[in-house]
Every structure is written in C-alpha cells, then in structure tokens.
Amino acid sequence: MDSAGMGSCGPGLDGATSPDTEPFIKDPRHEELIAVSHMDVQGYKCVCWKVWLCRFGALCSLGLLLVLFNWRPRLGILARCKSCPISMADVLLLKDRYGQQFVVDVLTEEIEEGSLEFAVVEADENEWRDTVQLHSEKKTLLRYYVFEGMRYIWIARKGAFCKASILNEGWTCADLHDRQQGLSKADQSTRKQIFGANIIDVPVKSYLQLLFEEVLNPFYIFQVFSIILWMSDRYYYYAACILIISLISIGVSLYEIRKQSTTLHRMARMIVNVTVRRDVGEECVSSEELVPGDCIVIPSEGLLLPCDAALLAGECMVNESMLTGESIPVMKTPLSVSEATYSPESQRRHALFCGTQLIQAKGGGSAGIGAIAVVTHTGFFTAKGDLISSILYPQPLDFRFYKDAMKFLLFLGIVALVGTIYSIVILSKSNTTWQELVIRSLDIVTIIVPPALPAAITTATIYAQNRLKRHGVFCISPPRINICGKTSLFCFDKTGTLTEEGLDVWGVMEVSGAGFSELVPDPLSLSPGLMLSALASCHSLALLGGQALGDPLELKMIESTGWELTEPENEMGLDSEFGKHRVLAVMRPPASELPSQDSVSQPVAIIRRFPFSSSLQRMSVVTVGPGGASPVAFLKGAPEMVASFCRRENLPSHFSPILREYASQGFRVLGFAYKHLTKETDLSTVERVEVEKDMNFLGLLVMKNQVKPESTEVIRTLKLAQIRPVMVTGDNILTAVNVARACGMMLSHEKVIFVHASPPTASSMASLQFHQGDGAAAGTDNTQETIDIPAQGLYQNGAGYHLAINGMSFAALCDHFPEYLPKILLRGTVYARMTPEQKTQLVKALQKLNYRVGMCGDGANDCGALRAADVGVSLSEAEASVASPFTSKSNNISCVPLLIKEGRCSLVTSFSLFKYMALYSLIQFASVLILYTEKTNLGDLQFLFFDLFLVTVLAIVMGRGGPSDELHPQRPAASLLSLPVLSSLLLHTVLLILAQVSALLITVSQDWYVPLNSTVTGAANLPNMENTSIFALSGFQYIIMSIVITKGYPYKKPLCYNFLFVGVLLVFFALMSWLVLFNHTIIHQVLQLYDINDMNYKLLLVAVAALNFFICYMLEILIDRGALNCLRNLRGKRKSKKQYKRLDAQLAETPSWPPLNQPLFPAQCSVIGVS
C-alpha cells in the first residue's frame, strides 16, 4: 500500500471491556494494523451521565469547556464516552500519521436482507455476512463513517473499517468486460447504499458556522480575553480599535474562506446526465446515481466524465489538462480481456478519469457510435476526488520555521510569566487594589504575546505570491513559498522541460541485410515499403474538426512522411476499401505518389491500437492493406525495448554501437519492428501479447531534440547557488547524458559512471556494477554484450564524477541493494527510462536524505512526483493546475531561479518580521514594567499610537522588499531557535532596556524634575515626566529596530530599493522628533505627554536613541558576519543533522568509491554499503 495515502483500513479491536478500564484497549494486532493503514482508530460509546455532566460543566464555564474539547478532541471523547471494541462503537477517535486527531460518528443504514449478494470478491461477501450475524438476526445493518469525503465501511473479518473502494480493488480486466451488460436496478440501489452518491461534495458552510469556527481559533480567544482585560483597565479607545480591527479581520477572513470554498464547490461538483446499461436496456440517469460496476455509454461527441472508468470498447480522445496540466489530448484505447488485476495507474491508456473532457468517442457503441466503459470509482475515490481532497485536507508542512514559531511563542509566554510575577511583586508594594493588581498583571501577557504576529508573518508570503503572479507563476499553496527558499536539489524532466517540446526528424536508418543502410535524412525519400508504412501508421493520432491531434512527436513523424490521416465517414468504422474490418484510421500516401499497379506504397488502414505508456515504453498497431489483405503489426518505442521483442537473429549486428552513437550525441531515437499476421488471426480480438512477440526489426527513426536556450543558464545559476540539478526522464540514458552535458549539469571534464543493477534470475544472483564512461551495461539490455571499461585514473586526478542509472536498474537497486541507494542518490545526476511511479519514488527517496526537493515538469507523466516534491512546478498554459503547488505559464525552466529567489526573500522577510514583532513586544514589555516600578503606565492613546499607527504600518511596509537579482551559494536559515537569532534577540533586548532605563535616570537627575503623584497608580497619574521620557525613547526604538533587523543582501534587494518603507521611516522619524523636540501642542495633550521646555534634555534623549540605534545596528552586522562562531568553536564542530551532508563527508573520505567493474552481490552490500 502506498505510504503517501491514507490507509484503507482502520484497525479493529476485539473483546469487551468494563467502563473502568483504560480508555485505550491494547490489541495484539494493533501495531500491525496501524502499519498497514497509517491510521490509529479507537472506539468509544457515549455514556449518558457523562454527556449530561459535560453539558453542565460547559454551562458553568460559560462554554470554555467546549472550546477546550474543540482544541483537544481526545479530552472531549474521554469526558463523554467509555472505550469499547470498534465493532460496537458509536464514536471513533482517528489519529493520522501526522499525529492529528479527529472525532467521527459511526453511522448505520439498514439494507434489505440478501441485497449484499452482488458481484464482488467472494471473500468480501462472506465478510458482509459476518456483519449481518453480528448485529441482528432480522436486519442487515451497514456500519460506516465518512472521513475527508471518503466512506469507510465495517468489515468484521478484517476487524476494521475499510475504504468502500476495497470492494472493487480486486477486479480483473476480465471482470470488467463481464459487466458490459450493466447492473440490475436492485444491484445499483444496493451499491449506492454502500458506496454513497457519486458526487464530490465540497461543503460550503454558512457564515454563522464559519464565524463560530473562526472565533474558536486560539488567536481570537486570546483577542477576546485581551479586549475584556483592556476594557476592565479603562483602555476604552484601544480596546474599541482592536475590536473593530478584529471584526474587520474576521469578516474578510470569512468572506475569503467562503469564496474559496464556493469556488472549489463549483469546480468539484459535477452533475451530468449519463446513459447507462441496465438489464432491461439503456436508460438516461443522473451521474449522482452511478456506482462502481455500472456500464456507461459515451456519446460520439464526448462528455465531461463524472467518474473514473475503464474503456472497454471504442476509442476516446481525452483532454486531461484539469488533472495533469498537459493540454495535448490523449488517445485512450479499449482494455484487453485478461486475468490481470485492473490498475488505473499501470493501465492509464485504458483508464478514463473523472473531471477530464472526452472530446470524441468512436467505434464502441451500437452502430459504432460512441464508446463503452465501466465505472471503477465514484465520488472522492476518483482521481479528481483525490486531488480535491488534497486541496481540502493538505498534509501538514514539515518546515522548521513554522515549528519553531510555535516554540518561540511558548518562550514568550514564559517571559510573560516572569513579567507577571514581577508586576505582582511591584504592584503589591503600592496602594493598588487586588482587582487592579490582577488586571495589570494579566495585561503583561497581552503585551508580550503580540496578537498581530500570525498576520505579520503571512505578509511576506502574500507579497511574494503577488510578485510571482506578475511573472506568470501561480501558487495554490502559499506556505510552500517559504519552503522554496530552502530548496537544495531540483529535479527536471527532459523532454518539453529542458529541451524543446517539438522534435525535428534527423533521418531514418533501415535494416539492410545484417546491418543498417545509410541514414536517409528525409523520410519522403524512402522507398515504398514496410518502414515507410510503419512511420505513417504507428501512432495514436485522431482527427477533430479535420485537424490531427495528439503527441507532437507523432505529428512531426507523420508530417515528415507526407502521408495524410483520414477517418471513415461510416459511424461503424466500416470501409469497403479495406474489407469487412472496422477501421480506426486510414493513412494515405501523398497525392503525387499515388500507387501505381506495381508499387507497394498503398494506403494503410489501422485496425487495432495498443497505445504507448511510459511504463511499457512502446506502442503497437495492427494494419491491413486495400481489400483487408496483408495484415501487418507494427511496433514503435524505445530501441532497446523494441529490440527485446524482436528475434535475435533479426537484429542488425551494429545495433548497439549505432544506438550508442546517436544517443550519445543527444538524438532522440525510436525503434520500429513489424510482423506479418496470419489470415487466421482474428484482428478484432487479438491480444497485445500475441501481436508484440517474435517481431522483425525494421529500423531507427532519429530525431533531434534541441536544448532550450534558457536551460543552460538556469542550470549554471543553480549550480553556482549550490543547488544540485538532477535529470529524471523516460528517454534513453545516453541521450539523457548528452542533454545533461549540453545544459551544463555535467561539465566536459567530469566523468560519467553508469550504474547497472540486475534482479536475480533462475541462474544468477542479483548484481550491481559501476562502469565508467560507457553506457553499454546501463543503457541496453541483453541484446548486446557488456563492455568492461578500465578505470583510467578516476580517483587520482581529482576530477568530479556523476552517476547515471536507468529505470530497470533503479528498480533492482531499490529491491535488492537498498544499502547502496543513499550513496547512488547522492552522486546520481541522470535517471533515465524512469516510469511515472519511479519518478515519485525517487523524489521520496531524496527527501529521506533530508534534501528539500524541487521538481519541474510538464505535468503529463510527472503528476505524482510534482505533488510529492517539496516544491512542484508544472509548466502549463493553465493559470493554476491542481497537479502541483506551482504552475508557470512560461514554457521553460526560467521560473525555477525566480521561485527560489522569491522563496528566500519571503523566508528572510518572515524571519525579520517575526524578530521585529518579538522585539516590539519586548520593548513595550520593558516600558510597562519600568513604568509599573515608577507607579505609572502608558496611556490608552499612547498604546494605540504605538501598536496601530507605528508598529502595524512598519510591519506592513517592511515586507515589501523584493528578492535579490542573484542566487547566493548559501541558503538562508530556517530555524528561529538558532544561536544567531536567539542571541540577537537577547542582546538587543538588553540594550533596549538599558536605553530606556538611561532615559529614565537622565530625567530623574534633572534639576527641574518633579516626581509624579504617588497617591494614584497606572495611567491615572498622566501626564508625568517618567512616562514622557519612556514614551519618547521607546517610540524611537520601534522605528530603529525595524531598520536593524531588516535584512538585505544576499537574499533581498537593499533597503533603499523599498521606497515605500524608506518614505514611512522618514515620516515616522520626523514625527517622533517633532513630538520630542517641539513645544506642547494639541497632539501632545491628546497623547498625555508632559510639557518639558529643556531643549538640551530633549536633544540628549534623541542622542540616546541614536546611540542605541548605532550599537544595535553594529551588533546585528557582527552577528550576521559570524561573530558568534567562536562559541561554536568552543563546543567543537558538530556533524550536520542532514543525512546527505553526513554521507557526502563520508564519501569524501572514501576515494575508492564506487568500485569500478566489480560485480557486487546482495551479501556484500551489508559490508560495503551505507547502513
């Protein structure tokens, strides 16, 4: 089972328990089931008296108990329920593999007796019968729960709730073909009860529901607590302003959430009318009624498919851009009848996916109109449902910055506790009443934990997202922008990503005797024959509106032959010119070369297609000539794959050297083969296995795939920035190596070592070999001899090296040599002939080495890898694709450096904003504690001036700075709890407190100083000199610290480029200088500032602020330049926590690795490999 997905089964618990036992019942299968399902499921039954007790407690606590239960679901369950076996539970507590907990209710539904006898796997039928006996002798009850849109049903024999889709996971291709007659209405009704309605329903909650959920957020609970506290302390203006801002914030948030959920609801919800086959004939039903096993009739004009289905008859041209971002239509062909288990991923060319647009269908329905398909998945179990689910319920981001932010808030909470204790001690010595003492002490907590902190951090991401959008890069997961800043490795697809999408035909090489003939540059010059027919007919193109649609490579191939694609006008596909066969398409030679009587260049009719897939690396067609005579099968694909299906004696003697020659020059090479079929062969039912065996090799089509001009510069930029580029492609390994050299992934002086791993056979063990500089062992299979290349001073000359490996070797390596995998991943640069599943597997394996992995592809065969990567970038014309977090409208990889620059800029800005908000809290915290000591405090409007006018505006504009023009080799830090960050905050706080104390002491030491009225406390004795001095200096501190912690080079443009920020700084400096230096005005009266006439004193305060700025600024520069490294030197050098860095250091000390031309076997790996 795929570890990336939610498990299909949750573990069940057997045996009864008493109410007094421990809530979690230990089960001997528990760990095993969790390992299978990735879900920990615990069962509970509601206890009436506990429920009423909780209600009473909620009433007495004014709802705070319910808030606690909302934050901690497990506490709510334990308070209201008792544990019990899952088979008897009313409520379930789910815990996913990220540690998140969810409470779901178990639902029951009565089903007619005996109605469960539908055509599912026999074992599952028996399991359902156990369920019947378990619950009632008279009724059949379906027990299930719904989680994240998916229905989980109880299966007693498994002792677990399993995904409803488990009932049709074992279907074979033959089982699907058996369902072409359709379901009875009774079967359909029963299946609908079990699987639910076929609808992807994204709930759109009412504003009242959203308000309730939003207000229960800890942030808003803290805001409500703070506002009540401020009102109690008579800070009416400040409390009113914060209340208004909070209401506006909640309103905007609710509007955005509802807008997004409404948009997603419209995108996900799809109800169309569909024609289905029933046992009584065809009928038109709503797509909501569809269930797995239904047989649907696809009209010739196509439709927007509302479910996942397997195509059984006819062909469909499908636009899958909604799922993949790839706008090129794909040809789908019928699923063959076999006993193989149906898998939509491995049989993608026969699978139709929910949400895709079927452009046209033909050759399958009655009278040849439309096509026939069987529903395999519905609702959230479909491919579209899976994508919608990933948007609705994204996995938590494993990013250190976000984790450290929460830990740092906890640290600030501890500081607040210390301040609270200090304020209690100070205030208790004065004439403060106990009510005022409690309010003032709690007020410290609202000061030290800034309520605007979460909003401030997100501003950097919002700015970056808007800048990316202006450059044509769209993002559906904004938190991932910061992760872009930590990317350490980037994977690239080759065709269409690093190289041009279109290919130019370079020439054709036909087999001639035991070798190859000369290269024919123009296929139009080929003599009429099988090679020309193969080039013209071995494709999956279709006509739509008279225009050929399909793979650009095949379009170019057909164009080079000059042949014309036509389709039968007869809906049945019957063409009298080609006998009684149903014809899919007809290829006709150019009009100027119409066949003469003796010519063999005749029109060719395509009767069957077995489409190309990345996993098979080949496609084939069955064709006939005029009159239905001369049936010939043609095979096209990767040359080594085509050769493996050909008779060995038919392969040219120079096959391997010729293939290596062209592949190593960067050409895209396709192999062709043919086979004459006997007259007895039933062309309409012949299986692919029969068609593709014992073929005769025809020749090679050589195509030139140019590297995009932007690719080389981007790869150079990434390498200079110490970001490792890696190529992951489905093409030939030598072609991939050539492209890697052409775009700069491998330099001319760097050597290539090919990795060849082979699985065990009946006569040999699994083996692993490393060969330098030649792909003979890695790039081909048993159609050629392995050539041993001696190591030519590989380790002595100090030159770098790169590993290259193909998909077959990668699979064998993962299965039989896992100990070697980390080393090969660390040095691997080219991964060729990789299937889509292997691309995803590679990304996850690199992440296990602690790389932050980026992936850039066109979305067609890279969806899994794009979604698995930390940073997935799809090159697509769509504005936003659910195939990946980022979508770029540019058709080249120039967006990658831009994305990394914006990520670094956003991350550094988030750091700066976090530090600024923390320092702002600490400045105000120090000011209040100092004034508490003097039996006074800041005034209501003074708080308002600092918090809303000064700090908020500065926090908003300081995040506007754009990214640097260059990528620096060093990545920015992601840890808020690192030594530089903590020491910076600590030292700055000490200096800020010293400056405020200095201002107070200077004030007290003046001859004209008048002590405040000590008979009253707090803001009641304003204005006074102590308050005015602290107000003046702290106001400057808020401004100067925004400059000190705003980082520029090397990740952002210098501060002077942020014109708005500079303008705001000048205005605020002028304002504070005016408030401090000039005479008493109406503004001074409103802010309750004392009128001091001594200009020398005022200038001295400004000088203290300037000195404070200078010292803090120099301190920050010293910390940035590594002044604290001496502390690191004292503790000694530590090993990196990142596995790839530790492994790199280990390989640097092992100059003899990899061992060249030495076959290694699994037994040796435990000794030689990396543990």
Amino acid in the structure at residue 903: G
Closest CA to 386 of 200, 234, 193: 200
- Work out whether the CA dihedral 1066, 1068, 1072, 1075 comes out positive or negative: positive
Token code pair at residue 627: 């009159």
Closest CA to 652 of 783, 515, 477: 515
- DSSP line for 301-356: T--B--SEEEEEESEEEEE-HHHHS--S-EEE-PPPP-SSBP-TTTTGGGEE-TT-
Closest CA to 683 of 621, 611, 618: 621
DSSP state at residue 182:
-
Closest CA to 632 of 677, 587, 672, 693: 677
Amino acid in the structure at residue 492: F
Contact between 766 and 817 (Cβ < 8 Å):
yes
Closest CA to 423 of 399, 409, 442, 398: 442
SS3 annotation, 652-677: CCCHHHHHHHHHHCCEEEEEEEEEEC
The CA distance from 556 to 1125, in Å, is: 60
Token code pair at residue 70: 């909302």
Q: What is the CB neighbour count within 10 angstroms for residue 1079? A: 8
H or E stretch at 603: none
- Work out whether the CA dihedral 368, 370, 371, 372 comes out positive or negative: negative
Closest CA to 423 of 400, 448, 402, 404: 448
493 is catalytic: yes
The CA distance from 52 to 59, in Å, is: 11
H or E stretch at 1019: none
Question: Which value, to the nearest 10 degrees, does the dihedral of the CA atoms of residues 1122, 1127, 1131, 1132 take?
Answer: 30
Backbone angles phi, psi at 363, to 5 degrees: 80, 15
Q: What is the CA radius of gyration of the chain?
A: 36
The CA distance from 23 to 80, in Å, is: 12
Closest CA to 708 of 493, 861, 967: 493
- DSSP line for 874-943: EE-SSS--TTSSEEESSSSTTHHHHHHHHHHHHHHHHHHHHHHHHHHHHHHHHHHHHHHHTT----HHHH
Token code pair at residue 1003: 């004030």
- Work out whether the CA dihedral 253, 256, 262, 265 comes out positive or negative: negative
**Strand, helix or coil at 566?**
strand
The CA distance from 583 to 572, in Å, is: 8
Backbone angles phi, psi at 639, to 5 degrees: -55, -45
**Strand, helix or coil at 370?**
coil
DSSP-H helix ranges across 375-484:
383-392, 400-428, 434-448, 453-470, 480-484
Of the residues 175, 493, 575, 862, only one is catalytic, namely: 493
Q: What is the CB neighbour count within 10 angstroms for residue 529? A: 12
Amino acid in the structure at residue 753: I
**Active site residue ranges:** 493
